[in-house]
């Protein structure tokens, strides 16, 4: 290599080192004085996503999802063939985000849970997405299915048998289970199980005769008497 080429290489290396030094200095100066990495905005971790919890209705006619409405997470619905910008809110809670929802099996209703002022006594509501909002309202009216003060309601959304559902209720330490099958629905009634009383009876049951004597832990009542009966059971469980 002749002297001219050697000098050219040296100059190129010197220029590269100077540039690298400037870049390194810029990167170092961008770091906090303490040497810690920059703070990540907590909104990235805890903020509401733009769209979440998407579901298709059982009949395939609607798509539902969670999206902020007036700054709070609510449920939105659109017809399957419509673009997302045509979706409409069907809940409008501006105080507390809706934590969870699902479709009824016939696809007519969306059921969701919500508490009041953060008391965690969740109530179950049903809303028909095909209903039009009443005059002056932004969303269809939702019906409170479990309007009981101081009671936390939950829906078991599963396809397993009654035994598994009762085990789940026991695991959740639920004092009452309400059962409505085809027979009850036809008669306009429901079956109510006092799980606390039934658990006490089970400790002493040794044969069918004793089991029959403990039948007071389960009662069938008309739907109109549901709330009053549940209140009686709860009062008995909480002396």
Residues 141 and 48 in one domain: yes
> Who contacts 114 (Cβ-Cβ below 8 Å, separation ≥6)?
93, 96, 98, 99, 122, 123, 125
pTM for the complete prediction? 0.60
**Burial group, residue 196, by CB count within 10 angstroms (0-12, 13-18, 19+):** middle
Give the position of tokens 């029959």.
Answer: 212
Residues 55 and 115 in one domain: yes
How many domains does the chain divide into? 3
Say if residues 134 and 144 touch (Cβ distance below 8 Å).
Answer: no
Residues 44 and 83 in one domain: yes
CATH classification at residue 118: 2.120.10.30
Q: 128, 152, 176: which is the final residue of a domain?
A: 152
Q: Judging by DSSP bridges, how do beta strands 189-194 and 176-179 pair with one another?
A: antiparallel
Q: Which residues face 193 on adjacent strands?
A: 177, 218
Q: Give pLDDT tens digits for 83-122.
A: 988 999 999 998 889 988 989 888 889 999 888 887 888 8
Residues 140 and 226 in one domain: no
Domain that holds residue 179: 156-239
Per-residue pLDDT band at 21 (split at 50, 70, 90): very low
Integer-rounded Cα Rg, in Å, for the chain is 31
Q: 122, 152, 182: which is the final residue of a domain?
A: 152
Q: Which helix (H) or strand (E) holds 213?
A: helix 208-213
**How far is 39 from 29, CA to CA, in rounded Å?**
16
**Which residue did the predictor score with more confidence, 237 or 169?**
169
Residues 118 and 26 in one domain: no
Residues 75 and 138 in one domain: yes
Residues 53 and 121 in one domain: yes
Residues 187 and 168 in one domain: yes
Residues 51 and 144 in one domain: yes
Residues 148 and 46 in one domain: yes
**How far is 176 from 197, CA to CA, in rounded Å?**
10
Residues 70 and 119 in one domain: yes
Residues 128 and 190 in one domain: no
**Which residue did the predictor score with more confidence, 124 or 163?**
124
């Amino acid at each position: 290599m002749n002297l001219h080429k050697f000098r050219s290489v040296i100059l190129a290396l010197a220029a590269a080192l100077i540039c690298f030094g400037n870049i390194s200095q810029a990167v170092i100066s961008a770091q906090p004085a303490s040497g810690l990495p920059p703070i990540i905005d907590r909104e990235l971790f805890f903020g509401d996503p733009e769209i979440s919890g998407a579901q298709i209705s059982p009949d395939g006619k609607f798509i539902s999802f969670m999206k902020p409405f007036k700054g709070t997470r609510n449920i939105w619905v659109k017809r399957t063939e419509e673009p997302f910008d045509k979706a409409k809110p069907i809940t409008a809670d501006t105080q507390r985000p809706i934590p969870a929802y699902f479709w009824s099996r016939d696809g007519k209703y969306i059921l969701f849970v919500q508490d009041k002022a953060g008391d965690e006594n969740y109530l179950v509501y049903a809303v028909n997405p095909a209903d039009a909002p009443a005059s002056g309202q932004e969303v269809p009216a939702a019906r409170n299915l479990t309007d009981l003060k101081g009671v936390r309601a939950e829906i078991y959304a599963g396809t397993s048998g009654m035994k598994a559902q009762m085990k789940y209720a026991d695991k959740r330490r639920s004092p009452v289970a309400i059962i409505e099958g085809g027979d009850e629905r036809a008669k306009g009634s429901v079956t109510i199980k006092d799980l606390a009383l039934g658990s006490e009876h089970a400790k002493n049951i040794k044969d069918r005769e004793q089991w029959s004597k403990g039948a007071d832990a389960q009662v069938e009542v008309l739907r109109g008497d549901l709330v009053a009966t549940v209140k009686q059971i709860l009062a008995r469980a909480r002396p």
